Amino acid sequence: MALRIPQPGRYTALSGQPAMFEKRDRFLNLLGTRPVIMGIVNVTPDSFSDGGRFNSLESAKAQAQKLVAEGADIVDVGAESTRPGYTPVPEHEELARLQPVLDGLVEAVNAPVSIDTSKAAVARHAISRGVAVVNDVWGLQKDPAMADTVAEGEAAVVIMHNRAEIDEKNDVVDDMRRFFDRSLALAEKAGIPRRFIMLDPGVGFGKTKQQNLQAISGITRLRDYQLPFLVGLSRKSLLGSLLGDQPDIKLIGTLAANLVAAAHGASIFRVHDAAEHAAAFKVFDAIERA
């Protein structure tokens, strides 16, 4: 049986607040009620699955609208690939990739938009353009200004577990706990409301194959945080190593892994294929509610 996190309190944007706050609160109010789908739009030339496909405003808008029409509750936009072996890009380049598409994309969908970045300046720009969630693969720990930026912008935040190097002897769940404790202390110091925070086990980041598998099942051991968990498993090399690299097989593997993650208590699922996950979660949720 899935482990349901306690549903967070209801939040209502005050009259006159920006549309971003209304979208942020609508997204947060979904958590704990059913599986929530985060659709991926990469405006990068080198992302492992869809690099170079959505770099223009029209293609990015079309993909965001398609994901929402197919069932995505939020759209995650990234301008720097974090695939294994990626080449970091400087702040000005990440901003240069985002600026042509971000305004139009935020306006093109009624759903909230999140920004996948570890740079405070990029997050600040994105929030100023109406982005409601900061998805930080370094969990507020890479850029010293990130926690304050999120707090000042009143954005929600995804704190992802990460490591600079793989340690095969590491108990990955204990390491996640230490990492999350540091990140949550930074968030509290900056004044980020706890109800705005989500955690991510960081599958594919600084972990062995076995540790990646343990990170998914290990969500169960971290339920005492009383926070929603996001998982990003879509089309990852972990699935290819288990099943093969054919696109259809990776989709089947992604669906299977996300359903297992849901059974262990994950709430938000970052995916490339929204329609397939919407259907799978509809069945999953109906069985759970029965």
C-alpha separations of 116 from 17, 167, 177 in Å:
24, 25, 22
Contact present, 203 and 233 (Cβ < 8 Å): yes
What is the SS3 assignment for 54? coil
From 66, 236, 250, 289, active-site residue: 236
Nearest to 289 by CA among 226, 281, 8: 281
Residue 23 appears among annotated catalytic residues:
no
For the chain, the distance separating the N- and C-terminal CA atoms, rounded to the nearest angstrom, is 11
Spell out the residues 6+ positions from residue 256 whose beta carbon is closer than 8 angstroms to its own.
none
Q: Check the CA dihedral 133-119-185-154 and report its sign.
A: negative
Nearest to 135 by CA among 42, 241, 53: 42
Residue 34 appears among annotated catalytic residues:
no
Alpha-carbon distance of 161 to 249, in angstroms, equals 27
Alpha-carbon distance of 61 to 57, in angstroms, equals 6
Token duo for residue 145: 């200004």
Spell out the residues 6+ positions from residue 100 whose beta carbon is closer than 8 angstroms to its own.
56, 57
Side chain identity at residue 7, one-letter code: Q
51 burial (CB, 10 Å; 0-12 / 13-18 / 19+) is middle
Catalytic residue annotation? 236, 270
